[in-house]
Amino acid sequence: MSGEVARADGAAPDGGASIRRLADWDADSLRDFAAEYGSPLYVLDLDRVRENYRRLDAAFPQADVFYAAKANTLGRCLATLHDEGAGIECASAGEVARALDAGVPGHRVQYTAVNPPAADLTTVVGLWQDYPELTVTVGAADTLDRLELRGYDGRLCLRVNPGVGAGHHEKVQTGADAKFGVPYDEAADLLAEAADRGFDVVGIHAHAGSGISGEEDLANHRELVSRMGDLARDAPVALEFVDVGGGFGVPYHEDEEPLDLDAVAEATREALGEVDATLQVEPGRYLVADAGVLLTTVNTVKETPDTTVVGLDAGMTTLLRPAMYDAYHAMRNIDAEEREGETVDQTVVGPICESSDAFCSNRPLPAPERDDIVAIGNAGAYGYEMASHYNSRPRPATITLADGAASLARRRETIADITRQEVSE
């Protein structure tokens, strides 16, 4: 669906290449960023975010795209995607507040309430007074009671558990997980009940999981969409939209082929069938992953009988995915590359006192030296978002690139930021 906000420069949509590999980033620029803004450092290229959005929007011309903010909630990222025409899908009251703060109007904000804490519901219902067009998606019947208790009778979407999941790791497959959504067979009755109780029922929603790629995942995605199409046709109330989730995968390995998005879009439309409602998708990773790199510095080079251990100043508190999901991220030592020395098998680790704090084990990379800059690819999605203060590590700074120019988007934290909330006697 075309952007609601016209591009100020009127530029023709350009989806760019279907994947930006880590090898495509300019080494000199990355080195300059680390020198100017310090290390570790997240870099997010907003021009690439725009390209990713345009390519996705072109593949799904009849669909409405909501960006799953959880992948990267940086205000500039939300504002960029809103500028391109995306709505914002939020997983918490905090994300709703950040989307509204970024200038996204209420009608382009959806809150997907997953086991919502009371404070989240109270906050969102409070925001709804000022933004009455925002939508709340509920995934449990008793969330209706809790919304009613707070006086909410606004736009409501029902999250359904379609009984089929997909994704790159079992920890990110939500479609068949009982935690998410109401049982499929109860959904039609619940839609009727919600409408009877005075909610403005506008949609149904399901999400298979994250990192969908490969035949099996795609077959599961198609199955989910087909079940949602059936439910939409059986729905006892008129629906504005059918949201079939996000989860479109990106290649993390250097030699992995990108997803054939046009084929996925075609299969999605086919599986949905004729419905009297707008198809909605809500990708996160696809829009931001390859727009980001994490720059870090080599602290330690240690030869051991088994491997060369390379210690970086970034670890699992900076980028959690390898420790949490055994996720692969491409790595480039941009200084070692230039020395054109030998390649050695390296186990690249962070500074956290945990054995899971490792980015890779025995990966062949150019021979490292202390103070080299290492770039880690596909860090734009679920990178800074999952960063923590564990081991009292301040979170890194973030810069953004727009029209090629770099600027600081989020300051580096200090130890004082970590202890700020402590109360002394």
Ligand X SMILES: Cc1ncc(COP(=O)(O)O)c(C=O)c1O
Residue ranges binding ligand X (CB under 6 A) = 68, 70-71, 89, 112, 174, 207, 210-211, 245-248, 282-286
Integer Cα distance of 248 and 219 in angstroms: 13
Contact (CB, 8 A) for 132 and 109: no
- Size of the chain, expressed as the number of residues it contains: 425
Shortest distance, CB of residue 21 to ligand X, whole angstroms?
Answer: 19
Give, as one character, the DSSP assignment of residue 209.
B
Task: State which residue, 68 or 373, has the beta carbon closest to ligand X.
Answer: 68
Which two three-digit tokens encode residue 200?
A: 């403005």
As given in the structure block, the two tokens for residue 415 are: 């130890």
* CA quadruple 323, 219, 215, 13: dihedral, nearest 10: -80
Question: Half-sphere exposure of residue 18, counting CA atoms within 13 Å on the CB side?
Answer: 13
- At 395, list the tokens: 């979170």
Active site residue 353: yes
Joined tokens for residue 238: 């008129």
- Beta strand 292-303 with 41-45: parallel, antiparallel or unpaired? antiparallel
- Among 77, 90, 353, 360, the active-site one is 353
Strand partners, 358: 349
The residue number whose beta carbon is nearest to ligand X equals 284
**Backbone φ and ψ of 334, nearest 5°:** -75, -20
Give catalytic residue positions.
353
